[in-house]
Structure 1
Amino acid sequence: MQVSKDTALMVIDVQNGMFLEDYPIHEEEQLLNRIQLLLAKARESHNPVIYVQHNEEEGAPLETHTPGWEIHTAIAPAAQDLIIQKHVPDSFRETNLQDELDARGIKKLVLSGLQTDLCVDATCRRAVELGYDVIVVKDAHSTCGQGSRSAEQIIEEYNRSFAERVKLLEASEVEFI
């Protein structure tokens, strides 16, 4: 599916601290490879790329201005990319994200990143509420297992839920124009 210039790619919380042993991200290498593919496609077509970077308190894995807080080097931002700082799962709440999207004429969002059941879901829900046309890249978001549920089960459950509200595409199917 082709998406136009009023479309931005969002990469949510793909930070070093999310790839520690404490966070066994499901298929982390494949996730990074798929986000790299999306980044290459968006940049080649000159579509905006927006990174969202979560900030946590002192001692937490995503403590602000620590190595864990840094965006993963495999998908590092380019000079022209926008980085939004957030403190809660919803990337719009108490951030300048909506103002930045409005200023750039962005009407459609392609979502990728971490974690499926937290920040990706919260951002997706809010974007829909705000009237954005949303595509969730079903193989470019991930999480870790929780309790008796595996990461794969959680991802499948959320992909079914996303499909009820937004477009759901694989990374290979997303084409920026």
Structure 2
Amino acid sequence: MQQLLDHVAALKGEFDREVFTDSYWAIRDEYDLGAADEQFWPPVFQRAGIESDPTLVASAAAKDAELASTIAREPHQLLLEIADAGVPLGILSNAPHRMAQSVRESDWASVFAHLVFSSEHGLMKPDRAIYDLAASHFSDVEPSTIHFFDDRERNIVGAHAAGWHGHLWRSVDQARFELRSLGILTKR
């Protein structure tokens, strides 16, 4: 979020960053469910006292998508280890259209067999229906064998309700440890 705030400040000058952040998250579900950039960003800017225009909306949306679709070296390495172990990978993400497209175009997304984004289906975690939809892409995999990592407890609860094994994401090391403990990854 800090980089997005800095980006907007570079374009418009300083503003109330706390109000902006609170506004961003207060209506983020609508964006993740498919609202257009032009529906989401102007109210966020307005609440933070920033005059909105189409150029600012496009720039903020692009920066937000870029930041959300950039992956650090360590998580990328873990994904490669899992893929090398022959484990089919999928993404289930609450993400607006622009972020979903940015992820699809990223180099690192190629390790995933399936990508399911909330904005493309009008469903979002922790709604059981989106977990079922994601699982349906893996027709030869039983939901009870799916291991799902997420940084929000409510989404882990949703995964459990769908019959999945949910794991709270805390760090790459923690995830690697859990995957090794489960026998999904072997020690190197």
TM-score, structure 2 as length reference: 0.45
Structure with the larger RCO, 1 or 2 (CA within 8 Å, 6+ apart):
1
Higher share in helix: 2
Q: Which has the larger radius of gyration?
A: 2
Higher share in strand: 1
TM-score, structure 1 as length reference: 0.47
